Structure 1
Amino acid sequence: MHRLHRIKTILTEKRQPAQQQSPTRGADLHSLKSRSVAAWLLVTTFELLARAPMRFRLSLGWLLSKLAPLVMPRRAKIARRNIELCFADKTQAEQQQLLKDHWRALVQSFIDRSVIWFGSPQEIEAFVTLSGIEHAHHYTDQQLPIMLLAPHFVGLDAAASRLTLAGPEGATIYAEQRNKLIDDFVRLGRGRFHNVHLVSRKDGIRGLIRLIKQGMPIYYLPDMDLGRRGAALVPFFGVPAYTQMSTAQLARQFNLPVLPVISTWDPKTGRYHVEVLPPLDTFPNPANTLEQDTAHLNELIEQWILPRAAQYYWVHRRFKHRPEGEPYPYE
């Protein structure tokens, strides 16, 4: 019994380092706050929100969700058009309610980054529950690379931070922000726990491949319109959408188990739940072409979206690039 207790203690201690923050975080935060008045206000606001009661953050999110479409009319138009295209079978009233619920969830997710990026590990574990992580650890404990497939839900950052809290280190492609201050702030938040390798999208996937070869898990977002190059024109909710085939290519080339990561915000409790699903057994399929695999992946993403349709990132221009002669949908 004593030996079993000792083994259990060792295994528990093995997981502890994943809960430690970056050793330079304090200095990095101080440096960022010292940069300008705007930087100080940004960081301090998030620090204060992290300490605020849940009720206050939810009330603030509700208020700002009413204002957001007014101050961001371009994004409001994009979201409305996406919902019209993807849910054409819904009535206008149903589409409007879905759009309203989307803004509520989207705005709340930005406010909740305060807890995710500045709350204690214990507060984050209570705020963002996690299930299915054993599916990932089955591979990462053996230092085998995997693909954590994360569709664009509003809980994307909650999921990423909660997974890095559970460990181990990993990598993801990162789209740099135009504003240098915001970019540094987001990088600091997303790289809080363990060692997160943020590979710039400008550098392509070469850096990501290098980390895969080192046995590192990758957090991969498969559902943005990045252009025609390397993409297949396949249906997304019945609308042809350019979808990158690199998801299937990477999984095939490096024999990566593909584990979906589904994040859900509960508007009743204000908390998030992240579920790591078992490895997909239908994607990739060696009997399919890359285009067929990509089409199947969109079908799977649709299935994951439907139970939480308001929580998908409808403010992205999912149908930005169109076939020759087809009109731009966001005019």
Structure 2
Amino acid sequence: MDKKPLLRGVLGYFGRCPDRTRLRWGRVLGWLVPRLLRSRAHIVRVNLARCFPHLTPAERTRIEKRHFHLLAQSFIDRGLCWFGSEQRILDTIELRGEHHLQALLDQGRPVLMFAPHFVALDATATRLQLFLKEAASMYTRQSDADVDEIVRQGRTRFSKVYLVGRHEGVRGLIRLLRKGVPVYYLPDMDFGRKGAAFVPFFGIPTATLLSASQIALNWDAAVIPVISHLDLETGRYQAWIQPPLQDFPGNDSPEEATARLNRLIEAQILKDPAQYYWVHRRFKTRPEGEAGFY
């Protein structure tokens, strides 16, 4: 069965409907998701308990509920990003600090846009398409071919975006980086032990790829944090392009430099913990002999 017409119809509806309607759908879906996807709700609870043991269960529950609301709204708004008008995207997703990125591009400097997993990540990527002529990012192929086609078209809608498959790994990104293509790099997923080290994240030894620090050192790439935020009251997104990290990695080892990046992510999370993508198994890989968290 060809799912494309149905998916396009639903997402197209979300792309055209008034803001109050898409916000209403976000509230409904945010209530449903943790009840329907109980395994994901369990992952969120484990992550919050591990990272915020000082909070009371009631405080963590409030973060969990708000997280699922934010997550649901970001999913609804893929319709806006992939099917909404260009003007509506400009009106809904605010980009700040783009001069930092432009200055590096004007210098011809390789640029690694360091984009941690906040729920507004996809909206930020869409907004960057309207600023950049080309960019690259890692891409995991969707298991359903119809869904994969829609996702690919949505993520390459406004500019030339190179979606590098996981099988190509970081080498595919480096090849494009060397050609002057800025890379939208998602640093905080657990891909196992290969290429990773156990680096503290909220005080927990966490399997973390060392790629960002190694690319910065070996290819003189500027690492420029890109932080995103979704306001549930207004339905508006903010994407902040921050100044490039100074003296990075400097004389630090890859592990020390990566720990610095993890601290940067932690500091941003603490501003509004519900915004982070707690639904993924960030602590899946454990040191030898340590029991799993989930």
Q: Note if 1:202 corresponds to 2:173.
A: no
What SS does the corresponding residue of 2:167 show, helix, strand or coil?
Answer: helix
1-structure distance, mates of 2:106, 2:25: 41
Contact 2:2–2:146 at 8 Å: present in 1 too?
A: no
Aligned match of 2:201 in 204, 220, 236?
A: 236
User: Where does residue 327 of structure 1 map in the other structure?
Assistant: 291
> How far is 1:168 from its partner?
2.3
Residue 258 of structure 2 aligns with an amino acid whose one-letter code is T
Provide structure 2 residue ranges, at least 5 long, that are not aligned to the other structure.
none
Q: Which secondary structure does the structure 1 equivalent of 2:272 belong to?
A: helix
3-state DSSP class of the match of 1:46?
helix
- Corresponding letter in the other structure for 1:260: P
In structure 1, how many angstroms separate the alpha carbons of the residues matched to 2:216 and 2:158?
Answer: 26
- Note the C-alpha offset of 1:260: 0.4
Q: Does 1:246 align with 2:191?
A: no
Q: Does 2:258 match 1:294?
A: yes
Whole-angstrom distance in 2 between the partners of 1:305 and 1:177: 28
Give me the whole-angstrom Cα distance separating, in 1, the residues matched to 2:169 and 2:48: 30
> Residue 256 of structure 2: SS of its match in structure 1?
helix
- Structure 1 residues 25-63: Cα deviation after superposition (integer angstroms, max 9, x where no partner): xxxxxxxxxxx5421000011111111111111111101
Counterpart selection for 1:98 from 63, 66, 77: 63
Aligned residue number for residue 316 of structure 1: 280
Q: Provide Cα deviations, 1:1-38, integer angstroms capped at 9, x if missing partner.
A: xxxxxxxxxxxxxxxxxxxxxxxxxxxxxxxxxxx542
Q: Could you tell me which residue of structure 2 aligns to residue 304 of structure 1? A: 268
| AA aligned opposite 2:262 | N
Question: What's the counterpart of residue 148 of structure 1?
Answer: 113
Q: Residues 93-123 of structure 1: CA distance to partner in whole angstroms, max 9, x if unpaired?
A: 0000000010000000000111111111111
**1:88 and 1:95 mapped to 2: Cα distance?**
9
Following TM superposition, where does structure 1 have runs of at least 4 consecutive aligned residues deviating by more than 4 angstroms? Answer: none
Q: 1:239 to 1:282 in 2, by over 3 A?
A: farther
2-side partners of 1:284 and 1:124: how far apart?
Answer: 35
Q: Structure 1: 5+ residue runs without aligned partners? A: 1-35
Match of 2:84 among 119, 134, 138: 119
Q: Secondary structure of the equivalent of 2:233?
A: coil
Q: Is the 8 A contact 1:283 1:297 kept in 2?
A: no
Helix, strand or coil at the partner of 1:205: helix
Q: Does 1:173 align with 2:125?
A: no
Instruction: State the distance in 2 between where 1:218 and 1:284 align.
Output: 18
Cα deviations by residue, 1:226-281 (Å, 9 ceiling, x for unpaired): 11111111111111101000111111111111110010001111110101000011
Distance 2:79 2:107 in 1: 33
Q: Is the 8 A contact 1:172 1:198 kept in 2?
A: yes
Q: In the alignment, which residue of structure 1 is the partner of 2:16?
A: 51
Matches for 1:181-200 after TM superposition, within 5 Å: 181-200=146-165
Q: Which residue of 1 aligns with 2:188?
A: 223
2:245 is paired with a residue whose SS is coil
Whole-Å separation in 2 of the counterparts to 1:185 and 1:99: 29
- Counting matched residue pairs gives 294
Return the alpha-carbon distance in structure 2 between the equivalents of residues 270 and 212 of structure 1. 33
How many angstroms apart in 1 are the aligned matches of 2:158 and 2:225? 21
In 1, Cα distance between equivalents of 2:247 and 2:280? 27
Displacement of 1:142? 4.1
CA contact (8 A) 1:140 1:168 kept: no
Query: Is the aligned partner of 1:162 residue 2:127?
Result: yes
138, 147, 151: which one pairs with 2:103?
138
Q: CA deviation at 1:71?
A: 1.3
2:75 matched residue in structure 1: 110
- Provide, for residues 175-222 of structure 1, a one-character-per-residue CA deviation record: whole Å limited to 9, x for no partner: 222222222211111111110000001211222111111111000011
Q: How high is the TM-score relative to the length of structure 1?
A: 0.87
Report the secondary structure of 1:166's partner residue: coil
TM-score normalized with structure 2 length: 0.97
The question of whether the paired residues in 2 share the 8 Å contact of 1:143 and 1:216 is answered with no
Q: What is the distance in 2 between the residues matched to 1:94 and 1:103? A: 15
Q: Give the CA deviation at 1:141.
A: 3.1
Are the aligned partners of 2:109 and 2:222 in contact in 1 as well (CA < 8 Å)? no
Q: Which structure would you say has the larger Rg?
A: 1
